[in-house]
Amino acid sequence: MSPAAIVVLVSGFLVLAVSMGTRFSFGVFLEPMSRDLGWSFSVFALAMGLQHFLWGLLQPLAGMVADRWGAGKVVAVGMLLYAAGVFWMANVSSPYDLYFGSAVLIALGGSGAGLGVILGAAARVTPAHRRTLVMGIMTAGASFGQLIFSPLAQGLIERFGWSGALTIMSATAGVSALLAVSLALGGNSAAKQEDPSADQTLRQALTEATGHSGFLYLTAGFFVCGFHVSLIMTHLPAYAVICGLPAMTGATALSLIGLFNLVGTNVAGALGDRFRKKYLLSGIYAARSVVIAVYLVLPVTAISTQLFAAAMGLLWLSTVPLTSGIVGQIFGLRYFATLFGFVFFGHQVGAFLGAWLGGYLYDLTGSYNGVWLIAIALGLFAAIIHFPIADRPLVREARAAA
């Protein structure tokens, strides 16, 4: 791998650590912000849900721009908008302030500096036989950020309050925009020689993908992933506090998820280069349902919460290198960021429901049990629908390669 490619991968890893790590820490702000501003949990949960939805809605557009003009510019602008959104969130006084800052600005920024654009840049500088492994390593950047930012955010809240904590995190995001410049170094060198989809038009690529049942199954499965991740990320810290545990327990749990997912994403990436990715995805979703069910029936203690976090961490973003790997495997790399962006939109629709429904059902029933049961059922659904995916490269691509 060339030095330029290594620079691209390291820079992308660090950008994901900041953008996704900050996002994964937002759950620790639910309880203190709601308490200080006199809001119900539904207000914060709706803001997070809108953020996830808009993030997903804008991701295909960001992917199109990145596929056309390069990832570096898109990521740089994205991180600056992201920083502005976090700063706005630090100074809210009404729910509508929160909706604009945390939903609109952060979603705009996150779509430009998110997984689709950065994984697309990484895929183009990586040989095919190592691509899923590299996707796993890059996705681990998000887990690394979660490991760092979740306890850091809680510590900053305890020292400076939630507004001061968000202001500091905003500055960190702004500085990280400088890393985006190096994402343009790798170009498309690894993809040009091997990708028979390189002469496609965008319209042809979209028509091809939306007519492929596997693309629809992947999108539906990623919907479930988004529901799980958003539900836990947004509500686990508050759930721990409601169950009588210290606030740091939830923050530590989010951090543990990030720690164990450093292992999970890399193992998933390595296995994805050797085994059928769709079967690995089925196993991951089924395992998530089992882990949630066990946590639900056991008494909620600090130990059970940390064990839950460790187990979920192994499964947390392990779906990303496998799902993105299948997208590239079937459709090629020319419009990877765009196509993965549409799959990611499914993820974010699920994330909207996970964040919002958790808060809504809690306010309605005074319990999180209902939404936990929904999460279990969705995991089993996702485990089933990955089996019929036709994951071979398209015939058109195979003929072009020949």
pLDDT band for 130, please (50, 70, 90 cuts): confident
Q: What average pLDDT does the segment 280-298 reach?
A: 96
Residue 215 in contact with residue 343, Cβ under 8 Å? yes
Asked whether residue 401 is domain-assigned, the answer is: no
Asked whether residue 319 is domain-assigned, the answer is: yes
Distance (Å) of CA 51 to CA 70, 95, 313: 25, 13, 23
Is the confidence at residue 401, as pLDDT, over 50?
no
Task: Name 165's Cβ contacts closer than 8 Å, sequence gap at least 6.
Answer: 29, 90, 153, 156, 157
Asked whether residue 130 is domain-assigned, the answer is: yes
- CA of residue 331 relative to chain centroid, distance: 21
Asked whether residue 190 is domain-assigned, the answer is: no
Q: What average pLDDT does the segment 313-330 reach?
A: 90
Q: What average pLDDT does the segment 215-229 reach?
A: 94
Cα–Cα distance measured from residue 210 to residue 217, given in angstroms and rounded to the nearest whole number: 11
Residue 140 in contact with residue 261, Cβ under 8 Å? yes
Task: Give me the percent of the chain exceeding a pLDDT of 70.
Answer: 93
Greater confidence (146 vs 366) lies with 366
Q: Tell me the pLDDT tens digit for each residue of 152-203.
A: 998 999 999 999 999 999 999 998 888 877 776 555 444 444 555 556 788 8
Cα–Cα distance measured from residue 219 to residue 213, given in angstroms and rounded to the nearest whole number: 10
- A 10 A CB-CB count for 398 gives 11
Give the CATH number for residue 115: 1.20.1250.20
Q: Which two tokens stand for residue 54?
A: 């808009």
pLDDT band for 27, please (50, 70, 90 cuts): confident
The pLDDT of residue 36 is 92
Cα–Cα distance measured from residue 306 to residue 48, given in angstroms and rounded to the nearest whole number: 24
- A 10 A CB-CB count for 298 gives 13
Q: Environment class of residue 37 by beta-carbon count within 10 Å: exposed (0-12), middle (13-18) or buried (19+)?
A: middle
Cα–Cα distance measured from residue 166 to residue 146, given in angstroms and rounded to the nearest whole number: 15
Residue 50 in contact with residue 99, Cβ under 8 Å? yes
pLDDT band for 151, please (50, 70, 90 cuts): confident
The pLDDT of residue 194 is 52
Count of structural domains, the chain: 1
Asked whether residue 395 is domain-assigned, the answer is: no
- What is the phi/psi pair of residue 341, to 5°? -60, -40
pLDDT band for 40, please (50, 70, 90 cuts): confident
199 in helix, strand or coil?
A: coil
Residue 348 in contact with residue 341, Cβ under 8 Å? no
pLDDT band for 337, please (50, 70, 90 cuts): confident
Asked whether residue 6 is domain-assigned, the answer is: no
Is the confidence at residue 143, as pLDDT, over 90?
no
Q: Which two tokens stand for residue 35?
A: 């308490």
Among 28-42, 115-129, 283-297, 338-352, which is the least confidently predicted range? 115-129
CA dihedral sign, ordered 6, 74, 25, 282: negative
Average per-residue pLDDT for the chain: 86
pLDDT band for 398, please (50, 70, 90 cuts): very low
Q: What average pLDDT does the segment 64-77 reach?
A: 84
The pLDDT of residue 132 is 77
Among 32-46, 107-121, 193-207, 329-343, which is the least confidently predicted range? 193-207
244 in helix, strand or coil?
A: coil
pLDDT band for 395, please (50, 70, 90 cuts): low
Asked whether residue 32 is domain-assigned, the answer is: yes
Q: What average pLDDT does the segment 110-133 reach?
A: 79
Q: Which two tokens stand for residue 349?
A: 């629709």
pTM for the full predicted model: 0.77
Asked whether residue 237 is domain-assigned, the answer is: yes
Cα–Cα distance measured from residue 194 to residue 48, given in angstroms and rounded to the nearest whole number: 40
The pLDDT of residue 296 is 92
Task: Name 240's Cβ contacts closer than 8 Å, sequence gap at least 6.
Answer: 246, 247, 249, 250, 253, 300, 305
Is the confidence at residue 346, as pLDDT, over 60?
yes
The pLDDT of residue 1 is 65
- Angle subtended at Cα 203 by Cα 197 and Cα 206, rounded to the nearest 5 degrees: 75
Q: Tell me the pLDDT tens digit for each residue of 266-288.
A: 898 889 888 899 999 999 999 99
pLDDT band for 146, please (50, 70, 90 cuts): confident
Q: Which two tokens stand for residue 402?
A: 């020949």
H helices of 113-201, in order, are: 115-123, 131-176, 189-192
pLDDT band for 82, please (50, 70, 90 cuts): very high
Cα–Cα distance measured from residue 49 to residue 297, given in angstroms and rounded to the nearest whole number: 27
Residue 233 in contact with residue 293, Cβ under 8 Å? no
Q: Which range of residues forms the domain containing residue 111?
A: 11-184+203-390
pLDDT band for 215, please (50, 70, 90 cuts): very high
